[in-house]
Amino acid sequence: MQTILEAQSPANTSPQELMKEMLVRLGEDPERDDLLHTPERMERSLHYLTKGNREPRGGSAGRDVRCGLRRDGDRQGY
């Protein structure tokens, strides 16, 4: 099992390395056979789940998904 010695900057770390660190912090061994591909699967899942934040929003609601505000600045509904 890996030991985390010091925190790394997330900006300089790959998403898969961050997922491995999370597994270690949860007490798991990311090198275990059934967890070897988990960081890759987690990265793909998060990318899919957040894809709407990268796509333009259509419709008449006028909401900006990225900041959670309507175009007129009203936080109604949030």
Query: Model pTM?
Result: 0.54
Contacts of 46 (CB under 8 A, 6+ apart): 15
pLDDT, one tens digit per residue, over 24-76 is: 999 999 999 999 999 999 999 999 999 888 888 765 455 545 555 556 656 55
Please give the helix or strand (H or E) that residue 39 lies within, else none.
Answer: helix 38-49
Instruction: Give CA torsion, residues 23, 42, 33, 7, to 10 deg.
Output: -30
CA distances from 25 to 3, 39, 43, 48 (A): 9, 14, 17, 24
CA dist 23 and 17 (Å) reads: 10
What does the pLDDT read at residue 38?
Answer: 94
11 or 1: whose pLDDT is higher?
11
Residue 16: pLDDT above 60?
yes
